[in-house]
Structures are given as C-alpha cells and as structure tokens.
Structure 1
Amino acid sequence: MSDVTTTDLYEVTMALSYVREGMDRPATFSLFVRGLPPGRGFLVSAGLEPALDYLSGFRVTRADVRRFAAALDRDPEALEPLLGLAFEGEVRGVPEGRVVHAGEPLLEVTAPLPEAQLVETYLLSLVSHQTAVASKAARCVLAAGGHPVVDFSLRRTHGPQAGFQAARTAGLVGFAGTSNVAAATRLGLPASGTMAHSYVEAFPDEEAAFRAFARAHPGPVTFLVDTYDTERGVAVAARVLRDLHRGAGCGVRLDSGDLDALSRRTRELLDAAGLPEVRIVVSGGLDEYGVDALVRAGAPVDVYAVGTKVGTSADAPYLDSAYKLVEYDGRPVMKLSSAKVTAPGRKQVFRTPGGPDVLALRDEPRPDGAEPLLRTVMRGGRRLGPPDDLASAHARFVRDVTALPAAARRMRDPEPPVPQVSPRLAALTEGVRERLVEQAKAAGGSR
C-alpha cells in the first residue's frame, strides 16, 4: 500500500476542500516540539533524512484516490481532484544529530497548501518518534561515560519499522552496535548479539551449550551465564574459553539480578581464571538510569546492552509535537488557543557559543558569531544534495552535546536551556494576535 494513504482522514478531507476552493497558494507549516518531556534536558533532531525520502516520492496515484474514496464511502470520481498531486515544495530542516530545544522548528515545509497539508501526519510520525528515541539513546551514551552501548530493542519495539528506526537513531548518537540484522546491513552498523536462555536450555548442560556455540562460531563469542546459577555459569564459561584458547574479544553476559554485585564477582572469577581480557556485558531492563547507577558505582562492566526501555523511550514515549500553519500566501497566521499558542511566520534558529538559542524570523540578519540551525534541504520537491550519513550526524551530535550546559546533561532533574525570542518575532506575534482579536470582535459585533 502506498505511503500516501498512511495519513489521517482529515488530511484528505482538508486537502480536497483546498483543491476544490482553488486554495493552492504557498503555505508554510512549522514542525516543532511544544515542551520537553519530564526528565529531558535536550532533544536530538532525527528523522529528517527519512522524511526527505518520503517527500521525494510523494505522488497521489489512482490507487490512492480509490482508497481515499473508500475511506470516505464516496465515489472515486469525487476524489479525482487529488489525482497526480505531488510534493513540489521547499523543506528547511535541522540536520540530524543536532541538539534542539522546545519551541524550535525541527523542519519547515513550504508548498502549495494542499501538498503541505497532506504530508502532515507522515512527517509528524517520522520525526516525532525518531527524535524521541534518539534523545533517549543519547542519554544512555552520556550515562555510559565512554563504555560501549549496544541496541537490543527490536523484539520489544512497537513494530519492526519502529525497531529499525530505533537502531538507526541509536547509531546516530553513537551506539556501538545493534542486534537488528536488517538495520546493521542496510545502515552499515556493527551487528551485535549473544545467545538466548533457550539456547542453553536446549542442551544437557551449560558446558555442552557453550562448546557447541564456540564450534559454530570460530571468532569471538559471548556466553550467557545466568540461565541457572550465575557464578557456576561464569566458571563454566571460563573453563571453556581457557580450554579453547579463546579470550581476546570474547565475553560473558549478565542479564538479571544485582548487576553491580554480579559483575564484581564475575570479574573476580574471570581474572582468577587467567582471563582478564574477557569482557562483561550486562543487559536486562537497562536504560540511562540503570547505566548511570552502575557507572557511578564503579561496576566492572565493559559493555551495556539496552533494549525495551530505550527502543520505546519508555519514560517519555511520545513528544508533544505539532505541525502548524505559520504563513499562507504571504500572510502570517497563528493559533490563539489556550496553552497552544503558536508564533507566526517562517523562522530560523540562531545558535551562538555560550549563549542561548534565538528563535527569529527567517529573513532576520544573523547575529555576530551565530550559526543558523535550519538549512534548505529540498526545493521544488527535490533534494539539494546527497543524503546525509550517520557518521556526519554523529559528529554533529558530539559537538552539540559537548557544548550543552552540564545541568542539561544531568540524568536526574536536568535543566533544559530556554531559547530567546527575537524582538522582531515578538513584535510580529503581538501584531498578528491583536489583528486576530480585533477580527473576532468585529465578527461578533456583526451578528
């Protein structure tokens, strides 16, 4: 089924009405996050590249028209005005990997109104989910303090596509690998995995399981040692590794229990067996809070494997994101609803080292020493350059997150930076608000 029909029904009904009314002048929509979830001091921009892929191929076909008509229980002929509609607009976006804050546009879409409206749902879904997971994964990287973190989330994410996006965004912020074979092979990420408890249970005992696994895999192996008794499992793993002269690159994995105490005892047993190079991998319900606790305690853990809580961003599984019309046919517009007020006009975000971000109008001059975050990445429905890569996105992330105040990077009770609003944007916002209020009064008085 076409991605065009992966949308909310009201996008179709509005687009059809716009086409029938001849409302096809340029419209600018701004996609942003209203407020950060609790426990977040920053967000990491993600999802722009998949969004550009989607827009590049967006075209309403006859099959799409038939599906729209079926959803509305109408004759396909009534939806014919949408046939052939393609995205031919401009996109300005914050490159993936950049740190962003509440209220700052992640992207702005300018296109004929029906086009810009019909792509709303898909763009919100792509960008919101990937930004949420990237931000969670970024905190795991910070918590690990330089230790490798790997993604084990696929089996618990909200569907295979979400699992792929989780692996991708984890790679973007610097995870050392993923268990997701499709993501690893398509994106060039290191594949990482061990074995399941069921594998150990399928053999008469742990030693038989470990030896069979080592026979099948001549390179470095990691044995899961807590199927029965953890200390005994570590001792068996050490004996097998020593007998087979395997050590460098190999590891043992702890998946349950008191990971701090067990990792210390495991390290003692491995060192006593003459295997100081064998790594300890821990998993089992970890996220940045669990990783942070182990690192702060000085647990001798070499690799952290995170899954469910990170792949679903369990403590903040959604973002309060919005895709709002800010200009139509050159006329700035805004929403006045309580707690959901939007600022009008096309925008830019300026970032100055050591200072707060400034949310400004697009055509404002750049302040001295400031860097604009939004870049024009698509015009006329076509990319302006080759697709970005994860390595470049990761480099941007490292640069931005290093420049954040320490309070924003804290695991507990972070303090998110608050962008300033430029005087010109503030004046425009007030002017549009006053105009809308006066129009509402005039309309009320004419009844």
Structure 2
Amino acid sequence: MTASSFGRRRLLTGTLVAATVPLAVACSRDDAESVQFQSPNVTDTPASRNVRDFGATGDGTTDDTEAIARAFEGITQASAVYLPGGTYRVTAWPAMADYATVYGDGADVTTVLYEQNGTLIDLRGRQRVNFRRMGFFTTGDTSTCFSLSACFRCSFDSVTIRGNHSSSTFPQYENQRGVVLTDNTGGTTFTNCDINNHGIGLTSECIQNYVTASKFTSNRVGVLGTGGDFNAGMAFTNVEFVSDNDPDTTDRHVRVDGPANDWWFTNVWFEGSEVALSIGTRETGGPSQFGMVNCKISARTTCVELLYCRQPYLANIIFDPDPNSRPAELVIDAEHVPTGTAVNLISGVDDDLDSAVFPDAWTVIGRGTMSGPTFTSTVVTRTVQDDVDLLQARDGGDAVTAAVLSDGTWLSDRREAGVVLKDESNAYWRLVVGTDGTLTTQSLGTDRPR
C-alpha cells in the first residue's frame, strides 16, 4: 500500500466520521422532543356545534326548543349541528343557512319529537341543506315534518321520518304529512331513509327529485304527485313500499293525480294496499312518461291502474296478489292511455296476463309472443331452414290457417279462407279451387270481410 493511497483512505474515513456526528446529535435531540402533528387551517368553517353544549338534554321530557335554537344562533354559512343520541322534544325549529348539516348518532338513536300541528322544519329558498343519521317523530293530527319550497339539492341520508297513522288510528292522522316539496324544489335526494305512518308520506309538486335505497311503510298514501305541473317528476330506485293488509292502513302506495313530466320506478317492491299505483286521472290528466322496470307489485284490488298517460313503459314486472285477494293486475284506460310498451310482464295469479288488458295500439312482448307494433319500414324475414315457414297465421286454438313458406310461396290451409280480391265496384270475391284444380269465385258482397 502506498503512502498516497493510505492518505486518501484516512481522509475519507475522517470525513465520514465528521459527517455522522451532527446527524447523531440531531437524532438524539429529536428523540428527546415530543413533536405533535398539527392539521393546517384550510377552512374558515367553524367546527360542528353540539346541542348539549347549549343546554339541550335529549331526555324526551324537557322542552329543548330554545337550546337547539341557541345552537343555530349566528350561523350564516356552511355549518354542522350535532344532536347526540337521545329524544329532543321541540315545539319549533330554527332557521337554517345554506349548506347547513344537521346530524345525529343514528336514525333510531337520535330523535326529534314534535307534538304540535303545523310544519316543524320549513325550508324556503335554501341550497344543499343536509340531514343525516337521525329521526323525526311528529304526532300532531295535521302536522308536517318537512316542507321544502324553492330549495335546491337538499339531501336526507339515513333519516327516519315517522308519523302516527295506522289502521288503529285511522282516520285521525289522515292529514298528517311527512315531506312536502313545492315551488320548483329540485334535486332533493333521499338515501337510506324511512318515511312511515303518515296520511301522505311524500308529496311532490315540482321538478325531478330522487329516492334511493329507502322504504315507505304504512302510509295512507305513500307518495302523492300533485299540483298539475307539467315539469314535475320523481325517480325511485331500490325502494320498498310496504304495509299490512288492513284496508284502513294503506289505500295507495303511489298516486299521481294530474299532469306531470316523468315518473320512474326501478327495482321497486310494492305490497299491502288497495291499489299499488294509480297514475293520472281521467278528468285532469297525467304524466307524459311513466316507467317501471324490474319491479314486484302486489295489491288487494288493483296492482297498477293507468288512467291517463302519454307514454307508459313497463318491463320485467311480476304482479302478485296480497293475501286472500285476487287483484286486477293491470287496468288501462284505452281512451287516455291508447299507446304504451309492455315487455316481459309476469302474472302471479294466472298463467299469463290477459292480452285483452292492452289497448290495440300497445306494443306488448311476452313469453314467445308480440302484439301491437306498427312497422314504419320494410319488414324482412329470412329463411333459416327449408322446412320452416317465414310467416304463419294462427287461430285462437293455435292452428295454422295460412303461411308464407320458406321459398316465398303463399299457402292457405283452409278452403274457406282463400285469397279475397276487391273489384272496381267495391265488391269482394274469394278465390275457390275445385278438386280438379279449377278456380272459381265466391261473392262476399260489399262489406269488408272480417
């Protein structure tokens, strides 16, 4: 080893030792000091307010109206008010700012109890107000739990809204309301909510609002579409409408009593009512669009009555009876609902729905059958094998009366059902073939054969 290489190695070692000394000191100093992580202040929004801090008890007997009002005092911007588990008796509800959130510990854990008549929570011109994880119980004969007027994008998440209607209390609470949407309130969402035991659970007079993964139980009328607004509508997805079988409990799960835009139901279950859905009225009108897809509907008297609608669409629906009943599965007013579409409807009462239920202009596709379509372009049938007819006409007993064979030949299988021609004087003649192949004609008069 040369002196020069030894010198370089000694210099490198010394440098490394010197470099590690301050690092060790720094690590020792960091270990000695306890450093706490602090979240940066990224918003001016105040933390949520706990109503208990303002004197609310939640004991179910004390009047917590003023304490809850104090929790809302001075709030003019996005904020959150928290109601811990308990029952909060109130006689009124304070005004709420845009973007406010009110939440509790669970729909059956935090309950607001309102024992008055009139409206508990009245939102007017509010945006994106949110209620979640709490319940509301109203007991006044003519009380309304929520009224939203000219509101936009408010939401209810895991909220129970309960009244006092039942078969044993009917008709005392027939005028009790759960939620009322008016004056162009739009974009309201109900997710994982329960609306139970009201005269009318949800009333809507306005543009599109949405209900998802929720349940309507034992309301006299579950949902009412009213107001005659041609822009009004509702959409329901993964929702249940249920009740018992007492006639005094539920009359109709859904009723649309006049003009509207669109009402849509997807993956919805109905049971326990006289009439599950009543759409439109002959006197005032109904929605432009009404759609049901992937639904199960049972009732005591009528599953679905379409009384007035421009464009109904029904697909993948099973109709069942409620216990000890045999309902009309589908009632259609031929004058006010002349056209519509029905696909894959299943009867739980008979082998199939009676085709006479549908007006002539309806397009109906069932198990191996289709009726009513009007084709506006060339209709094409293609040969798939030589011994299979391209077209067949069959009688009521399913016997073939006429056919177009695979090579295009026209065939009549009945002597009395041969080709009919019309002459210049508007008389009808049937071609008749004798046993020797001779063609003759048979006069049918001037009335068009049927």
Answer whether TM exceeds 0.5 for this pair. Answer: no
Larger Cα-atom Rg: 2
More strand by share: 2
TM range (shorter): under 0.3
* TM-score normalised to structure 1 length: 0.21
More helix by share: 1
